[in-house]
Structure formats: structure tokens, C-alpha cells
Amino acid sequence: MKKVLSWVLALFVVAVIGLAFRYLYKKSQSKPVVFKTEMAEIADITKKTVATGSIVPRREVEVKPKVSGVLSELYVEPGKRVKLGDPLGKISIIPDAMQTNQADSGVRTAQIAYDNAKRELERNEALFKQGVVADAELQRFRT
């Protein structure tokens, strides 16, 4: 009985080792690659994508004129490249009423200050001739 049991056990061990070698051999073999082939045909491909978000430029530049006014002519199309110094358009200068009033009041103020200084100089020259005002005082009014 012991002999039969040892033969069965040995046969079992040999079978397990054989199955292990067979499994490992099949696993090491690469499977054939199967490709699906189709005939080429001419067709239009239409693919639409809907996305939400915003478009942001890579670089943004502000263009400001040195004077204010209305743009009467535009020499460059929007989106075109320009070089430094290229004219972009023509500006028609329309004076602002407030700026005009400020300039007028500035002129009037300067005229009044000039008239006052001229009168003071004439008065001090007359006083200098009479000997009432010193030469240094007269020179101060002349400057």
C-alpha cells in the first residue's frame, strides 16, 4: 500500500510540474496581432465641438493718441500687423468747450497780471526819478 501511495504521489507531482511548464510556455508565447483592414474611401469629415469659455489674446496693446479728437480716417485694417512709427489713422481735433474756456481764462489772467506788473514798473520808475525809491527796489520790479 505504501508503494502504491508513493507512486500516486510521484505521478501527481510530475503532473503538477508538467502543467506548470505547459502554462509558463504558453504564457511566454506572443499572441498573434490581429488587424482589421478596410478599403480607403473619399468622404467629407464633419466634426463639431461645442465649448464654453472665453478667448484671450496672447498680447494686448493699448493705442492712445497724444491729442484728443475724432478719428476721421483709418489707415490700417483691424488685426493687421504694424511697425513702430507706422501711421494708424488721421485725427480731426475738435476742441472741447471746457478746455477752450480754461484756455481763455488763463489768457485773461495772464493779461491782467502783465498789466498790473507794467503799471507797478511805471509807478516805481516815476518814484525813482523823484528819488523816493532806491535803485535796488526798481531793479526788483524790472525783473
pLDDT digits (tens, 9 = 90+) for 50-99: 889 888 888 888 877 777 788 889 999 888 888 888 888 888 887 778 88
Report the alpha-carbon distance of residue 24 to residue 133 in Å, rounded. 127
Indicate whether 108 pLDDT > 90.
yes
* Its pTM surpasses 0.95: no
Report the alpha-carbon distance of residue 119 to residue 112 in Å, rounded. 11
List, in sequence order, every residue forming a beta bridge with 71; answer none if it has no partner.
91
β-pairing, 89-92 with 70-74? antiparallel
